[in-house]
């Protein structure tokens, strides 16, 4: 995996430091996600993200319609199926550096859970926070999910101050 390839695929310059990931595995450390590196947007995954947006799971569709669509979550805009690094995350808000994942039953399998942990570590390494909810929680306790997200936002705002986006229509697309 060359530095050039990393820069080209992820659209960001890699920090040339090194980190150890797992037993005996060494890889480049990525710089923190920000507007200059487009939050590590991966354009090569856009067709797959579009396909996922057009065919959401019932839980993703429910969460989007009830809480996240049209800046319903305290005025913060969320994107669905956003390509970040080498992943497509279910929901992301770059103002909050927050990723929300909705996990189906197959995420209980040990192999999938290990892959989810690696994915979450990579996203956290570049500055995102990942909140995970099970399909059942979204479909059966949407108010509990809403409370969890709102509590996380309140903690974020207490630490960093509100980072409200500009009024709708004045916001840059893709941020």
Per the CB < 8 A criterion, the answer to whether 33 and 128 are in contact is yes
pLDDT on residue 142: 97
Alpha helices, H only, the chain: 3-10, 46-54, 58-63, 110-125, 135-140, 142-160
pLDDT digit string (tens) for 110-144?
Answer: 898 999 999 999 999 999 999 999 999 999 999 99
The confidence band for 28, taking pLDDT boundaries of 50, 70 and 90, is: low
Question: Residue with structure tokens 């710089």?
Answer: 31
Region of 115 on the Ramachandran plot (φ > 0 left; ψ -120 to 50 alpha; else beta): alpha
Output the CA–CA distances (angstroms, integers) from residue 135 to 43, 99, 127, in the order listed. Answer: 28, 16, 25
Whether the per-residue pLDDT at 101 is higher than 60: the answer is yes
Q: Which two tokens stand for residue 63?
A: 């969460």
pLDDT on residue 11: 37
Cα separation of the two ends of the chain = 28
pLDDT digit string (tens) for 50-88?
Answer: 999 999 999 999 999 999 998 899 999 999 999 999 999
Q: Does the pTM exceed 0.75?
A: yes
Which residues, including other chains, have CB under 8 Å from residue 130's CB and lie 6 or more apart? 99, 100, 101, 120, 123, 124
């Amino acid at each position: 995996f060359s530095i050039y390839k990393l820069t080209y695929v992820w659209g960001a310059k890699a920090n040339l430091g090194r980190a150890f990931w797992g037993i005996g595995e060494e890889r480049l450390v990525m710089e923190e996600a920000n507007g200059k590196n487009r939050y590590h947007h991966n354009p090569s995954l856009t067709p797959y993200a579009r396909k996922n947006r057009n065919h959401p799971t019932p839980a993703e569709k429910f969460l989007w319609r009830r809480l996240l669509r049209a800046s319903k979550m305290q005025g913060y805009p969320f994107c669905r199926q956003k390509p970040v690094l080498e992943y497509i995350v279910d929901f992301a808000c770059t103002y909050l550096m927050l990723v929300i994942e909705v996990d189906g039953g197959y995420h209980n399998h040990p192999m999938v859970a290990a892959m989810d942990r690696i994915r979450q570590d990579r996203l956290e390494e570049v500055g995102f926070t990942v909140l995970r909810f099970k399909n059942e929680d979204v479909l059966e306790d949407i108010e509990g999910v809403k409370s969890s997200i709102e509590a996380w936002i309140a903690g974020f705002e207490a630490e960093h101050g509100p980072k409200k986006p500009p009024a709708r229509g004045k916001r840059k697309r893709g941020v």
